[in-house]
Amino acid sequence: MYSEKVMEHFMNPRHVGEISDADGVGTEGNPVCGDIMRIYLKVDEEDKITDIKFKTFGCGAAIATSDMVCEMVLGKTLDEAMQVTNAVVAEALDGLPPNKMHCSNLAADALHKAIEDLKSRRQKRKAESS
Amino acid sequence: MLRVYLDHAATTPVRPEVVEEMLPYFTEKFGNPSSIYRIGWENRSVLDDARDRIAAQLAADSSEIIFTSGGSEADNLAIKGYALANQKRGKHIITTSVEHHAVLDTAKYMEKLGFEVTFLPVDEYGLVSPKQLAEAIRPDTILVSIMYANNEVGTIMPIKELAKVAREARVAFHTDAVQAGGSLSLDVQDLGVDMLSLSAHKFYGPKGVGLLYVRKGIRLDPLIHGGGQERRRRAGTENVPGIVGMAKALELANAEREENMRRITALRDKLILGLRDRIPEIKLNGHPTQRLPNNVNISIKYIEGESLLLNLDMKGIAASSGSACTSGSLEPSHVLLAMGVPHEIAHGSLRLTLGRETTEEEIDYVLAELPPIVEKLRAMSPLYQE
Ligand SMILES: Cc1ncc(COP(=O)(O)O)c(C=O)c1O
């Protein structure tokens, strides 16, 4: 039911973990089916993503999309990362079963939340220092 | 790699002895039992013989057996057929919140047709009590349908006591015994039930064949109209090979039942204890002792069922789960939720159901392979160590 690519990312995810001094953390969940995805990221001075990790509670699709979104944006700028959508992630995995497209395809949303978190932390720091 | 099938509650392989008995009825003995020439009427006797053999296994009379296309049809026939034929006496039906969808969805459909249905809640083990049933029966109650054993958590209902409550209130009592077939006594006199559903593929018979036992005097409307087969209660040319196979499978299952159950119960308990020893933070779902001999259902905290099943499949282990992703809907198992299991823990449920060919080596294999999978998935989970 899953593509080979999904199974590969699901069985051997390369980006599992946490970043203790992350610049941004984003959590997205589906309250109905219960999936939870959390993305941690770090950037350099040019806003390039230098490290990204995830933790996910969910089905094969939830874990594979989490790993894939990390892979797709590592080394990219935050602006580029904001362009990545759930649909793009699913496509990069050679597609997902139709019933998984909605409930378990939230990894890009979690990534965007992590980026928003990073930006709001920045703003807070700016406000505090000025 | 070992191939370990631990999903016998889903279906079982057909026993070779059963296949052998079925085979002639596909080819040289292909006649229609309703035809008047030899190859036809010979199969009428074959059918009668299979019916007698099955009736004997249930302590029933042959005229009380209606062959169906399986458990789902038997459940539908019991509920729709009885309710429609008896609606003049009342339009209230009682069932439970943990039934198989074949009963649950049929009951919901009856609501659409203007019947009222009470879905009895269950306790933390998945049980309803005779007292609960007695309190739910009303003057307009015509039918009670309560499963003998639960297909997800294996909990065995006190059917004898429940049927007694219904009988004393003069309400018909149906039990979905699909999961009990081959594991528990199916003596309908001792159980005191009016109707009982069985499905052959759960006890090493073929798929697509089952039966409804209907006590003499119980009136049913047919669901399938057409020819006069099954005493006009179920039209359609009989599935002769399937019915012959079911008869053989039921005889074999009952003959070996006690010995098999003793062996399987021991393996089941080894599996439960072994998992408890090896995996922290797991919970046994269902009743600790009042459960099917072959059923293990555990919730593994912090992980989700489908990812567990996929990892097990990679190790050659076939199992099932009550997680939303595997239930076919977005919701986790209605059975676990009805038992008060929280959503996120219901997602992490794993059902392992043993069978007559399950070996100790296979149980040891699962005990070796499952803990590292759980560890791997927990390491990925944002819920773990929080
Ligand atoms: C308790 C119960 N009832 C009914 C059914 C349906 O039986 P069948 O698959 O033969 O239609 C099943 C099987 O999944 C079951 O476990």
Give the domain-ending residue among B252, B272, B302: B252
Average of pLDDT values for B335-351? 93
For the CA of B200, the closest atom of ligand 1 is 10
Q: Examine the domain organization and report whether B144 and B220 are in the same domain.
A: yes
pLDDT > 70? residue B330: no
CB contact under 8 A, B304 and A32: no
Q: Which residue of B has its CA nearest to A34?
A: B344
Indicate which CATH number applies to the domain containing B189: 3.40.640.10
Domain ranges, ordered by start, for chain A: 4-122
Indicate whether B201 and B227 sit together in one domain: yes
Question: Do B160 and B266 share a domain, yes or no?
Answer: no
Digit-coded pLDDT (tens) for B75-102: 999 999 999 999 999 999 999 999 999 9
- Tell me whether A11 touches chain B (CB under 8 Å): yes
Single residue among B198, B230, B252 that ends a domain in this structure: B252
Which of B381, B384, B385, B386 should one mutate to test binding to chain A, selecting the residue with the greatest count of A CBs within 10 A?
A: B381
CA B211–ligand 1 middle distance (angstroms): 11
Asked if the model's pLDDT at residue B281 lies above 80, the reply is yes
Is A110 within 8 Å of A26 (Cβ atoms)? yes
Rounded Cα–Cα distance for residues B294 and B242 (Å): 25
Whether chain A has a CB inside 8 Å of the CB on B337: the answer is no
Task: Pick the residue whose CA is nearest to atom 8 on ligand 1.
Answer: B71
Which residue out of B325, B344, B364, B367 is catalytically annotated?
A: B325
Atom of ligand 1 nearest to the CA of B72: 11
Quote the minimal CA–CA distance from A89 to chain B in Å.
19
Q: How confident is the model at residue B63 (pLDDT cuts 50, 70, 90)?
A: very high
Residue from A16, A59, A101, A103 carrying the catalytic annotation = A103
B217 and B295 in a single domain? The answer is no
Q: What is the mean pLDDT of residues B361-386?
A: 94
Indicate yes or no: CB of A57 within 8 angstroms of CB of B304.
yes
- Cβ distance A38 to B382 less than 8 Å, yes or no, reads yes
B71 Cβ closer than 6 Å to some ligand 1 atom: yes
Are B94 and B83 contacting, i.e. CB atoms less than 8 angstroms apart?
A: no
Minimal Cα–Cα distance from A128 to chain B, Å?
Answer: 30
pLDDT interval class at B110 (50, 70, 90): very high
- Is B293 in the A-facing interface, judged by CB distances under 8 Å? no
SS3 of residue A61 by DSSP? helix
pLDDT confidence band for B113 (50 / 70 / 90): very high
Q: Which architecture, in CATH terms, is A4-122? A: Alpha-Beta Complex (3.90)
ipTM: 0.93
pLDDT at B329 over 90: no
Which pLDDT does position A105 carry in this prediction? 82
pLDDT of residue B320: 95
Considering the entire predicted model, what is its pTM? 0.94
- Considering the domain architecture, whether residues B115 and B223 belong to the same structural domain is answered as yes
B329 and chain A: CB distance < 8 Å anywhere? no
Domain identity same for B59 and B167: yes
pLDDT of res. B62: 98
Q: Is the CB of residue B349 less than 8 Å away from at least one CB of chain A?
A: no
What is the reported pLDDT for A98? 87
B190, B224, B252: which is the final residue of a domain? B252
Q: Do A58 and B307 touch (CB under 8 A)?
A: yes
**Quick check: is B325 catalytic?**
yes
Q: Chunked in runs of 10, what are the mean pLDDT values of chain A (130 residues)?
A: 95 97 94 86 97 96 96 97 95 91 85 97 91
Confidence of residue B148 (pLDDT cuts 50, 70, 90): very high
Q: In this structure, are B137 and B240 located in the same domain?
A: yes
Beta-carbon count within 10 A of B164 CB: 17
Mark whether B62 and B88 lie in a shared domain: yes
Do B244 and B284 reside in the same domain of the chain?
A: no
- Write out pLDDT tens, residues B259-271: 999 999 999 999 9
Query: Inter-chain contact B344–A34, Cβ cutoff 8 Å?
Result: yes
Q: Are strands B282-284 and B195-199 parallel, antiparallel or unpaired?
A: unpaired
The CATH number given to whatever domain includes residue B274 is: 3.90.1150.10
Read off the pLDDT of each residue in B293-304 and give the average, rounded to a whole number.
96
Distance CA(B105)–CA(B48), nearest Å, equals 33
* Residues B267 and B237 placed together within one structural domain of the fold: no
Whether residues B215 and B352 share a domain: the answer is no
Is A70 one of the catalytic residues? no
Which pLDDT band, with edges at 50, 70 and 90, does B326 fall under?
A: low
- Pick B382's closest partner by Cβ from A7, A32, A55: A55
How many independent structural domains does chain B possess? 2
CA-based nearest residue to B123, from B285, B269, B9, B281: B285
Alpha-carbon distance values, A72 to A14, A78, B129, B157 (Å): 12, 12, 56, 53
B327 has pLDDT over 70: no
Each residue's pLDDT tens digit, B200-212 = 999 999 999 999 9
B300 interaction partners in chain A (CB closer than 8 Å): none
Q: Does A1 reach chain B within 8 Å, measured CB to CB?
A: no
Cα separation, B138 vs A69, whole angstroms: 58
**B290 lies in the same domain as B179:** no
The stretch B165-177 carries a mean pLDDT of 98
Question: Which range of residues forms the domain containing residue B27?
Answer: 16-252
Please answer yes or no on whether B306 and A56 come within 8 Å at the CB atom: no
